[in-house]
């Protein structure tokens, strides 16, 4: 599916949740409004994304530390987003670290706007999008995976259909798109795991933290322990290894019949499904760093190969 043909016709297009614009002269910034999107982002090759702005900033600092030749101060990487109360955007050489917020609704906004940004940065062509990769790095609940394991998604499972699809609802109609991640990118990331335990499996994507997944800890008593013990073995038998709230939207958007961008989803397990999160903040930070380190290893392999 081609990108929206109207994008080439716009003279300006507010990328609202990043506070940027196709015509950067219109943004409220003393220095950025003297730049163009091709000048700022024309060399982008990998977009790393996570839920929280703080995690995006921490990963940007890690990238700046690991790759000092990109010339970014690891103590203070610049947030290029001019809507910092919405989404954050950091750039370390050809690497972006962005936040996408929490849940399917929020990540849909982020990937639409970052894709439009890269289309405009490619001077209204797909020359950047033909070479870019999207990698979501996050945390998740474990289904047949242990605390601290890293799950690299094969495909995202929709909670309504229990099939690898993303669903879009528009004006009373339902549209389904395959939610399968790029196998070549997945294998390259898996090969970069080092001594970190990485499991390849399917990911259940729910529309909420307490509902649409096997969870008995919400405020309402609508899901029983009996249902939990019935459903978890079923998911494990299907090949599901973790549950989170964004993978289906990312895979469905990036698939070959739509945006056609190689994408991956890699998440650390921070709690077994059906059990409240009991890990401390420091433990969660340590667990999260495992998935991030696998991606850093992958970036190093790309640099070593000269493909970045």
pLDDT recorded at residue 1: 65
The answer on 126 and 252 residing in a single domain is: no
Q: The tokens of 75 are what? A: 């103590």
Over residues 114-144, the pLDDT tens digits come to: 999 999 999 999 999 999 999 999 999 999 8
Report how far residue 267's alpha carbon sits from residue 232's, in angstroms, rounded to the nearest whole number. 19
List of the chain residues with pLDDT < 70: 1, 274-276
Question: Cα–Cα–Cα angle for 218, 170, 173, nearest 5°?
Answer: 100
Range of the domain at 53: 1-131
Amino acid 234: pLDDT: 96
Contacts 24+ apart (CB under 8 A), 274-279: 274/214, 274/215, 274/216, 274/228, 274/232, 276/217, 279/147
| Same structural domain, 148 and 92 | no
Domain final residue pick, 131, 148, 174: 131
CATH of residue 125's domain is 3.40.50.1580
Can you give the length of the chain in residues? 308
Query: 150 - beta bridge partners?
Result: 198, 268
- Shared domain check, 91 and 208: no
**What is the structure's pLDDT at 169?**
95
Query: How many domains are contained in the chain?
Result: 2
In this structure, the answer to whether residues 177 and 267 fall within a common structural domain is yes
**Model pTM?**
0.96
């Amino acid at each position: 599916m081609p990108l929206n043909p109207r994008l080439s016709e716009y003279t300006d297009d507010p990328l609202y949740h990043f506070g940027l614009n196709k015509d950067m002269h219109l943004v409220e910034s003393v220095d950025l409004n003297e730049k163009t999107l091709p000048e700022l982002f024309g060399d982008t090759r990998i977009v790393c994304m996570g839920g929280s702005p703080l995690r995006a900033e921490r990963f940007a600092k890690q990238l700046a530390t690991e790759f000092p030749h990109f010339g970014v101060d690891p103590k203070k990487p610049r947030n290029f987003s001019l809507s910092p109360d919405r989404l954050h955007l950091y750039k370390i050489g050809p690497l972006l670290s962005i936040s996408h917020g929490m849940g399917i609704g929020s990540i849909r906004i982020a990937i639409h706007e970052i894709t439009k940004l890269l289309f405009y940065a490619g001077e209204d062509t797909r020359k950047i999008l033909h070479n870019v990769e999207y990698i979501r790095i996050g945390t998740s609940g474990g289904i047949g995976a242990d605390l601290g394991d890293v799950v690299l998604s094969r495909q995202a499972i929709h909670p309504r259909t229990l099939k690898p699809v993303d669903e879009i609802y528009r004006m009373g109609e339902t549209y389904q798109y395959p939610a399968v991640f790029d196998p070549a990118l997945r294998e390259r990331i898996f090969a970069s795991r080092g001594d970190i335990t990485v499991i390849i499996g399917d990911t259940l994507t729910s529309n909420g933290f307490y509902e649409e997944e096997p969870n008995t800890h919400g405020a309402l008593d609508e899901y029983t322990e009996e249902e939990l013990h019935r459903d978890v073995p079923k998911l494990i038998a299907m090949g599901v290894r973790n549950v989170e709230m964004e993978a289906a939207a990312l895979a469905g958007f990036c698939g070959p019949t739509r945006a056609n961008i190689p994408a991956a989803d890699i998440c650390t397990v921070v709690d077994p499904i059906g059990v409240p999160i009991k890990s401390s903040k420091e433990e969660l930070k340590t667990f999260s760093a495992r998935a991030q380190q696998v991606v850093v290893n992958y970036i190093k392999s790309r640099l070593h190969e000269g493909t970045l």
